[in-house]
Amino acid sequence: MTVRTTEVRAYNTRQGHILAGRALPSADELLRLMPFFEDSIREDVLTWVKGEIARLERLEPPERQALLPFQELLNDLEASSVFGAKLAQSIYLLMLALPEDDHEGKLRCSVYRAALGQRASMITLACNAATALAVSAETSPEPTLADLTLAWTALGWLAALAADDAFVPLSGHPRPERLEASVDTALWHGRAIVRFLSGEAPPKVLLRQNYRDDAIQHRDVAEYKQLLTRKAGGVLEEDLVADWLGMSLPELRRYTEGGDLIAVDMDGRTVYPAFQLKNPTTILHVRNILSVMPIRSSWMRLEWFLTPDSALDGDSPWEALQAGRREAVLDCARSHSAE
């Protein structure tokens, strides 16, 4: 138990460093579904590419064969409009130019392409994870946390493939739920499956499904809350928010208690999801929306902002607000049940 606790603590510490931008994840860590650098695939690719260009420029010309493809990918990344399928294609061209023995680089490219929705790369990752897990199962007396994350990967990417509309289950079972991002879908379902098989309680996907903040007892809700805060762009501490708004801490707390901002409790600390503090206009819009919303639970308010809604044509209220549909978001907030 102590060994597993130590593993978990080290895993969480490493994950925190990656999310904060203090460490670039390795290809193996990305295979095991560690987050991207600063929780952004673009920032992860950009940081990796710049590092590889600097490394290659120090080598002799015969060893620089991938330098030009790296530079071309850097140019694509600096063009902010390049994303999705186009970025996946640029990464694929780089992958073809990498030396055959550059397994680290090729694996990293596969992770990027899978996260961008490329089905063949999802299969590649599932197979790589299953291979590593099979070797470990034959040589290790019991599974480590690293082994469990490989199982999350193998099963998670298969679940992400099964969640795609192109897949029709011959068994007649419904497809797994698809989250906003492919990598989130893989991580969520992979963990749920492994925990189900190991006898642990499956996660509850939505906080609003009759689970009040003071009554939640399912361990996976903590992970779901982490997912929400990641989608919200991270969180800010009270003193930073007060400084940004030009308020004292008591003024900020009164402002928040009045329902003008969303503040949530994480590990005994009051923190503020960053999305609502993007700029003064966003702060004003969020304040107006919160003022007409019947929901009072902070976590449920945050979830509402970040969850796709059929009343907004499948966009989340936050996405609709960014697209300039403020009145539609206000109407949606007014009509939302407080239950």
Residue 309 CA to residue 333 CA, distance in Å, equals 11
Write out the DSSP string of 202-238.
PPPS-TTTT--GGG---THHHHHHHHHHHHTT-EEEH
Q: How many CB atoms lie within 10 A of CB 265?
A: 12
Helices and strands in the chain: count of H runs, count of E runs: 16, 3
CB 236, CB 253: distance < 8 Å: no
Q: What is the mean pLDDT of residues 144-164?
A: 92
Q: What is the rounded distance in angstroms from the CA atom of residue 241 to the CA atom of residue 275?
A: 12
Query: What is the per-residue pLDDT across 207-247, written as a single tens digit (0 to 9) for each?
Result: 444 333 333 333 456 777 877 888 888 888 888 888 888 88
Average pLDDT over residues 161-186: 85
C-alpha 285/C-alpha 302 separation (Å) is 15
For all residues of the chain together, what is the average pLDDT?
Answer: 83
What six digits make up the tokens of 192?
């749920």
Q: Tell whether the model's pLDDT for residue 54 goes beyond 50.
A: yes
Percent of the chain with pLDDT over 70: 89
pLDDT average, residue stretch 9-13: 76
**pLDDT at res. 220:** 58
| Residue 52 half-sphere exposure toward CB, CA atoms < 13 A | 28
CA distance 164 to 329: 28
**pLDDT at site 215:** 33
Average confidence (pLDDT) over 253-281: 87
Higher pLDDT, 147 or 62: 147
Output the pLDDT for position 102. Answer: 92
Beta strands, E only, the chain:
235-237, 264-266, 269-273
Please list the residues that pair with 265 across neighbouring strands. 270
What percent of the residues of the chain are helix, what percent strand, and what percent coil, each to the nearest 5?
Answer: 65, 5, 35
Q: Are strands 269-273 and 264-266 parallel, antiparallel or unpaired?
A: antiparallel
Instruction: Give the model's pLDDT for residue 81.
Output: 59
> How many CB atoms are located within 10 Å of the residue 54 CB?
10
Q: Token pair 């007892």 is at which residue?
A: 217
5 or 200, greater pLDDT: 5
CA pair distance 47, 274, nearest whole angstrom: 23
**Would you say residue 203 has pLDDT above 60?**
no
pTM over 0.75: no
d(CA 218, CA 309): 25
**156 vs 140: CA distance, rounded Å:** 23
Structure tokens at 30: 């990305």
- The H or E element containing residue 34 is none
| Cα 264 off chain centre by | 19
Six token digits for residue 48:
């990796």
Residue 176's pLDDT is what?
Answer: 86
